[in-house]
Amino acid sequence: MKHTQRRWFAGRLYWVLLLTTVMGLSISSLALAQGSGPGAVTGDQVNAIARQLYCPVCENTPLDVCGTQACAQWRELIREKLGQGWGEGQIKDYFVAQYGDRVLAMPPARGLNWLVYIIPPLAILAGIFILYSAFRAWKRPKAAATDQGAALPADPAAASQDEYVARLEEELSKR
């Protein structure tokens, strides 16, 4: 009798564990499905747009890292707009219409703003050209003429030694 009770208990235990596992997995999959539906907006999506906008209240602070209450409200507004199906460009245009171009992390290339895109590369190219010209000038030997029009010898050490030897011979010949 004990053997049949044990077998019956083991069979029931197997089904209870199996049923509990299946129910647990189905409940967790329902919870995951609620957070990842087509209307759900993740924090990464909000921060991807907020990273491209600056806080209109704080100076030079991206919207995704600003800790003010206003920025939290603007991030929530971005979340709502994304939930309504707005695109990244539409949201940025909305903020530009409300606060001006200063909220954009990358200013549009119009008006005098295009100088921001042109001047740094031109300055780098001008610096490279100046360095190249200076290195070529330093590397090139200088050709200078003496009083009689003859060129100096290529080796400056030899020229100074010849001059020294000539003066020494002149001094010795005087004695």
Return left, alpha or beta for 85; rule: phi > 0 is left, psi -120 to 50 is alpha, else beta.
left
Contact by Cβ (8 Å): 71, 19: no
Determine the Cα–Cα distance for residues 138 and 115; give it in Å rounded to an integer: 34
- Domain range summary for the chain, segments of one domain joined by +: 1-31, 43-108, 109-139
Helix (H/G/I), strand (E/B), else coil: 53 = strand
pTM for this one?
0.46
Helix (H) or strand (E) holding 148: none
What CATH superfamily classification does 43-108 receive? Cytochrome C biogenesis protein (1.10.8.640)
Determine the Cα–Cα distance for residues 35 and 40; give it in Å rounded to an integer: 6
Determine the Cα–Cα distance for residues 90 and 84; give it in Å rounded to an integer: 11
Contact by Cβ (8 Å): 165, 158: no
Contact by Cβ (8 Å): 82, 41: yes
Determine the Cα–Cα distance for residues 98 and 111; give it in Å rounded to an integer: 20
Per-residue tens of pLDDT for the chain, all 175 residues = 566 666 666 667 677 766 677 777 777 665 555 544 555 778 888 888 888 888 877 777 888 888 888 888 888 999 998 988 888 889 888 988 888 877 887 777 676 767 777 889 999 999 999 999 999 888 877 654 444 445 555 666 666 678 888 888 888 888 6
